[in-house]
Amino acid sequence: MSEVVRTVVVKSTPLPRKVFRVFVELEGMYRNMVEQLVLFAVRNNIASFTRLKALKYRELRSLYPHIPSHYAYTACQDTSVRVKGFKKLKKRGVAKTDVPEVKSVSIWLDDHLWRLEGLTTIWIATLKGWVRVELEPHKHFWKQINGCWRISSEAKIKLNRRSRRLIIYLTFKKSVESCEPRGFMTVDVNENHVAVLVDGSVYLFETGFKNIELGYYYRRKRVQEKYGKLYGVNSRIKKKVFRKLRERKNDLRWKLANILVRLAGEKQYVIVLERLGRNPARGMINYMKTTSYVTGYTRRALEEFKGLSRRKLESTGSPWST
Decide if pLDDT at 138 tops 70.
yes
Question: 256 pLDDT band (50/70/90 cuts)?
Answer: confident
pLDDT digits (tens, 9 = 90+) for 25-82: 999 999 999 999 999 999 999 989 999 999 999 999 999 998 999 999 999 999 999 9
Put the strands of the sheet holding 193-198 in their side by side order. 201-206, 193-198, 183-189, 269-273, 320-321
Average pLDDT on 157-181 reads 87
Amino acid residing at 283: G
Decide if pLDDT at 281 tops 60.
no
Among 140, 175, 210, identify where a domain stops: 175
Whole-number pLDDT of residue 294: 46
The answer to whether residues 235 and 162 belong to one domain is no
Average pLDDT on 112-119 reads 91
More confident: 245 or 267 = 267
Write phi, then psi, for 150 (nearest 5 degrees): -110, 145
Helices (H), 115-183: 139-146
The answer to whether residues 248 and 134 belong to one domain is no
The model's pTM = 0.76
pLDDT digits (tens, 9 = 90+) for 215-232: 777 777 777 777 777 777
For 26, 70, 101, 319, the CA distances from 128, given in Å and listed in that order, are 10, 15, 29, 49
Q: What total of structural domains would you count in the chain?
A: 2
The answer to whether residues 267 and 291 belong to one domain is yes
Residue 306's CB is within 10 A of a number of other CB atoms, namely 22
Percent of the chain with pLDDT over 70: 83
Decide if pLDDT at 214 tops 80.
no
Decide if pLDDT at 174 tops 80.
yes
The answer to whether residues 161 and 190 belong to one domain is no
Pair 91, 46: CB distance under 8 Å: no
The answer to whether residues 122 and 268 belong to one domain is no
Q: Which domain holds residue 162?
A: 2-175
Average pLDDT on 195-209 reads 83
Among 151, 175, 199, identify where a domain stops: 175
Whole-number pLDDT of residue 82: 93
Whole-number pLDDT of residue 313: 63
Q: Which residues contact 154 (CB under 8 A, 6 or more apart)?
A: 108, 109, 110, 111, 171
The answer to whether residues 69 and 121 belong to one domain is yes
Pair 174, 4: CB distance under 8 Å: yes
**Maximum pairwise Cα distance, the chain:** 69
Distance CA 44, CA 177 (A): 43
Pair 12, 164: CB distance under 8 Å: no
Residue 309's CB is within 10 A of a number of other CB atoms, namely 23
